[in-house]
Structures are given as C-alpha cells and as structure tokens.
Amino acid sequence: MSQSNETWGSRVGLILAMAGNAVGLGNFLRFPVQAVQNGGGAFIIPYLICFLLMGIPLLFIEWSSGRYGGRFGNHSTPYILDSMVKGRVLKYIGVFGIFTNIAVVSYYAYIESWTMSYVYHSVIGTFNGMTQSEVAGFFASYTDISQTSTGIPYEAVVFYIVCLAINTFILSKGLGGVEKVAKIGMPLLILFGVVLAVRGLTLGSSGASDAFPLANAIDGINFLWTPQLDSIWSPKVWLAAAGQIFFTLSVGMGTVHCYAAYVKEKDDIALNSLSAGFMNEFVEVVLGSAIVIPIAAGYLGLDWVLNNAGFGMAFQTMPFLFQQWGPILALFAGVMWFGLLFFAGITSSLAMGMPWMAFMADEFGWSKNKGAWSFGLIALILGLPTVFFFKQGVFDDYDYWAGTVSLVAFAFFEVILFSWVFGINKGWDELIRGADIKIPIAFKFIMKYVTPLLLGWVFIASLPDIYNNITHKDTYNREAFAKSYYAEKIGGITNEATVKEVTENQVLLSFTNTKVSFLKAENKKIVTPFEDQIVYDFEEGQLPSVKVGQKIHAGDQIATGEFTNNVFYKNMGRLMLIGLFVFICILVYIAFNKRTREGRATA
C-alpha cells in the first residue's frame, strides 16, 4: 500500500475545492429548467426542504465516512466502506464511488468541451447577426461530428479530447493542482455569475420587441419565486426536487469521500461541509435562477420560456440573447457565460478523477502522473460513443444510468451503512470530532430515520422508470435492426397525428399540441391548443409506407426498409458501462488478495 502524504494546503482551498466539486454545470443548466418545469416557486420550497433533510445529512455522512477511512490510509470508497464495516461485500458496493465518476466524466467532459468551443466562437464573433433559430441550428450542426464551423475536421471530437487532456494534466499535479484551479476558478465563476445576474435582474421590459411585446425579465423572477399552490403538493414536484439535490451537491458519487479522506484527523469537517454546501446553494439558487430564465423572459417573454425551457437553452438561446446587447457587450457576455460554465464544469470533473487516482495509489502504488493519465484514457475510450452517437441517445443514456440511477443507489446504500450498520453513535462522534460549530442534535435523528426514508422513497419511486429504461419502453422502435419503422410518441391532446406530406425520404405529420401561457393576475398557468408538426427523415432504401390524410398513432408503422435503431447504440453504450463496473470490481478483488498477502485484509 502507498501511504499518501498528500493533504490540503489550506482550509480555504479545501472548501473551494469541495464547493467546486458540488458547483457544476447543473447549477446553471439543470436547476433553472427543473424549477420552470415544476411550478417555479412550487419547486423551490420542496427543494429547500430536501436540502435540509437529505442534502445536509448526506454531506455530513460523506465527509465523516471519508475522514474516517482516511485515518486508515484509504482514500476511495471501496476501502473507506471496508474500514467502516468489516466484510467482503461492502467494498464492492464502494465500487460505485469509482465507477460513477469515470462514467459521468466521460460524457460530462463533452458538455465541458462545448463551453470551451463557445468561448472561442463568442470571441471570433460566430454568433453575430444570427437569429435564434440559426443559433439553435449551430448547436445541432456542432454536435453532428461530420460538420465543422472552424475548418477543423471532427471539431467536436477535437475540443472533447483537448478538454480531457486539460483535466488530466491538472490531475497529474495531485491535490495541489486541484486546489489551485479551485482558488482561481471559483472566484471567477462567482464574479462572472454576479455580473450576469445583475444584468438579468435589471433588464426589466427593455428587451421587449414587436415579436415579444410583453417580454419582461421580472416575470421570470416572479415565476421562480412565487409558489403555485395547485402543484406544490404534487409527488412529481417533490421527486424532482429530491433528484436535483443529488445533482447539485455531488453526493452519492464518492468524490466527497475522497476529498474528505485527505482531511487531518482532528480538523473540522462539520463547518467545512456546511460551508461548501451553502456556497453551492448560493451559486445555484441565487445566481443560477437569476441568469438564464430572467434574461430569456426579458427578450422572449415568460410564455416562450415556459414552452421551451430545456437543457439546451444555454447553448441554443443565450448566444442570441447576448447579441441584443451589441457586439462588444455580446463578446464579454459570451466569454463570461461560457467561461462561468467552463469553471463550473472543470472544478467538478477534476473531482471525478480523484477517486480512481486515490484507489490506484493506495492499492497499487501508482504515481499521480500514471493515475491521472490512465483515468483520462479510460474516460476517453468510454466517452467517445457519447460524442459520435450523441444524436442516437447514447449521451442521455449514460446520463441516466451513471448520473442518476448510480447516484441514488449508492447514496441509499451508504446512508443505511453509516446510520444503521456502522452505527449512528459512532458516526455522530466522527462528525463532531474537531468541529468548529455545534451541530443541532436533531440532525442525528434526521440522519438515522428521515434521510433513509426519503432516499428509500426516491429509489422506490424510480423503479418503474428504471424498468422502462431497461426494456426501452421510451421508444416504439425497440429492435436494434428492423425492417419497419414505427411512429414514436406523438403527445398533444389526442395522441393522434395526420399525415400532411410524404416524399421519397420524408414524412410530415400534423397534430394538435398544447402550449402554456401564464396569467400573472391569477398566478396560474393555462393550456391552449395549437397545430404542431413532426418530421421523420429517412435514408436511401428506407421507404415511407403511409399516405397523405392517414391517421397515425404512436406505434404505427410509417416506413419500411433496413433500419439500425437507436437502441443498438444505447445497448453498446450500456455494455461499456457494465464492462467498466466489472473491471473495477476485478481490481478491487485483486487489491483484496494483495492486502491478504500483506496481512492488511479486514476479513
């Protein structure tokens, strides 16, 4: 075993690194969208309650577990858990704490690379004069690796590899490199965020136009902070709020354990964990809610936001909105916005590299350099399918299994382990050892009873969705290779569409969809119908099998020929994820045998 002598250089560096681990792309891309889609203020209330009853307890548990394991020279979750409770099985549950990080960073770095590319395009003025649809089209072409906007072949792939290389180089410097990036990146992130938030909060109705005469940034702010009582008790809203806590605090991943394992035995973890957690909440709730939604509402109106809010707004809409400020301010706004996202991304992705490096150093004596570059190589191999087959859904599938299911499963296991197997009394003693603040004793009860129940509810509520994803119930084209192609979910009022146009390689369907409008005076949303379209494009040898005027329902055949469906690419991606998990399990087993030979195995 390689006993690591590494430790954090300063308390500020530790807190900023931990906050950087938590503050990620989801603070600015996912949180505002979740809030809009789940009732604005009706989402904020359960979100804050879940932070209190689930987020803070999980931070306490992971910081305590990490520091406890670190005392025995263990800096990654397999043997951190093993040091807490002796038994062969628990170390394999700890595999999640390495697997999740490699799997997530493999596609997370792709988003991170978008921010690098968009900084570049903001500087050279690529978006100048573009309409909103043209900016959205730029993103679509960028994620199509066969196209390029710079003349660089496979531009998206190149930026992705460069992004991974930057991460790997910084990781090769160990904790010192991570700490330096956190000390630079986090203050810049907050500075950029404050500048953009002030602009969003002061925009008012100055962005209104003939196309959007009612546009007003204040409407976006009001919607986010005014609870709609008709949806506040919806289980869907509470489940979404609980899910966001996982994403925003990076709990259930193993990164917090790893960072905390390098904290000295008598150093505070109670105040440090709260400081990092509340810094994340400030960035997410205060800054995250004050940029995208208000600025979009200020130029496009609240109704447009309610009907178009999505993860892609940051890349497909914001560059267009910045152009409304003039070319000079648009340049600075673009650099600040995508620079902010880059720093949010890299401080998180660096944390994801540490568990692998710590495990290989502890168990096999690997150097920081060897650990870092092996991590980068594995992430590259695993992540390339998300780049090449982004439009086939591999990216989203990775995000679901590694970035959602894996987090919930590991968090549920670890809270049971900490509170009931390791023992809440021992756990509480570890938490308050060296504490600079007095933690309310109520949290001892919450950690033992309330948090496990909440996590159990989240996990059980997710089981139907997990089953549907395993069986590809989200699509009607469930065969990897097929002779027929079927219409996907239509939606709208009747779930029925009419064939409006048929060509040799395209089918155009028309259906009655719904859009949302918000009545400010009554603080409620209303739904109105409108005619919408779905376009299916086919390749050579794939022939439409429908006629103009024909009624189509989801699951109806609309074309024949030779089809390679998205499930093929998703299944290949899932096999790679399973292979990674098995590979790490094998390494843990080899490490266990090595420890047994050296007389260090626990049992």
Contact 280, 249 (CB under 8 A): yes
Angle subtended at Cα 24 by Cα 297 and Cα 194, rounded to the nearest 5 degrees: 50
3-state SS, residue 500? strand
Q: Output the average pLDDT for the chain.
A: 91
Residue type (1 letter), 29: L
- pLDDT of 3 over the 70 cut: no
Measured CA to CA, the distance from residue 243 to residue 250 in angstroms comes to 11
134, two tokens: 């043209």
What pLDDT, on the 0 to 100 scale, is given for residue 329?
A: 94
Q: Which helix (H) or strand (E) holds 295?
A: helix 292-300
Residue type (1 letter), 356: W
Contact 500, 548 (CB under 8 A): yes
Strand order across the 557-564 sheet: 481-486, 557-564, 543-544
Cα diameter, the chain: 77
Looking at 41-55, 91-105, 351-365, which range is the least confident one? 41-55
Which residues contact residue 596 at a Cβ distance below 8 angstroms, ignoring those fewer than 6 apart? none
- pLDDT of 278 over the 80 cut: yes
Any bridge partners for residue 218, and if so which? none
What is the CATH T-level fold of the domain 11-469+574-597, as seen in this structure?
A: Hydantoin permease (1.10.4160)
What pLDDT, on the 0 to 100 scale, is given for residue 1?
A: 45
Cβ neighbour number for residue 470 with a 10 Å cutoff: 10
What pLDDT, on the 0 to 100 scale, is given for residue 518?
A: 79
Among residues 232, 244, 243, 231, which one has the least CA distance to residue 458?
A: 243
Any bridge partners for residue 529, and if so which? 514
Contact 409, 111 (CB under 8 A): no
Contact 115, 345 (CB under 8 A): yes
Highest mean pLDDT among 8-22, 142-156, 572-586: 572-586
Q: What is the Cβ-side half-sphere exposure of residue 582, based on CA atoms within 13 angstroms?
A: 6
Any bridge partners for residue 533, and if so which? 510
**Second-level CATH architecture of 481-564:** Beta Barrel (2.40)
84 vs 201, 302, 408, 529, CA distance in Å? 48, 51, 21, 58
- pLDDT of 77 over the 80 cut: yes
Map out the domains of the chain as residue ranges: 11-469+574-597, 481-564
Cβ neighbour number for residue 527 with a 10 Å cutoff: 9
Render pLDDT for 404-461 as a digit per residue (tens, 0 to 9). Answer: 899 989 999 999 999 999 999 999 999 999 999 999 999 999 999 999 999 999 889 8
Q: Which residue has the higher pLDDT, 193 or 520?
A: 193
Residue 178 has phi, psi (to 5 degrees) of -65, -45
Kindly state the percentage of the chain with pLDDT values over 90.
74
Measured CA to CA, the distance from residue 587 to residue 582 in angstroms comes to 9
What pLDDT, on the 0 to 100 scale, is given for residue 4?
A: 57
E-strand ranges in 146-277 read none
Q: Which residue has the higher pLDDT, 154 or 172?
A: 172
- pLDDT of 238 over the 90 cut: no
- pLDDT of 16 over the 60 cut: yes
pLDDT band at 5 (very low <50, low <70, confident <90, very high): low
Strand order across the 506-519 sheet: 524-537, 506-519, 496-502, 551-553
Looking at 61-70, 110-119, 528-537, 594-603, which range is the least confident one? 594-603
Render pLDDT for 381-409 as a digit per residue (tens, 0 to 9). Answer: 999 999 999 999 999 999 999 998 999 89
What pLDDT, on the 0 to 100 scale, is given for residue 603?
A: 58
What pLDDT, on the 0 to 100 scale, is given for residue 117?
A: 95
pTM, to two decimals = 0.93
Contact 103, 573 (CB under 8 A): no
- pLDDT of 2 over the 70 cut: no
375, two tokens: 């991590």
Measured CA to CA, the distance from residue 379 to residue 114 in angstroms comes to 17
Measured CA to CA, the distance from residue 175 to residue 162 in angstroms comes to 21
Q: What is the Cβ-side half-sphere exposure of residue 75, based on CA atoms within 13 angstroms?
A: 27
Measured CA to CA, the distance from residue 103 to residue 381 in angstroms comes to 10
Cβ neighbour number for residue 469 with a 10 Å cutoff: 18
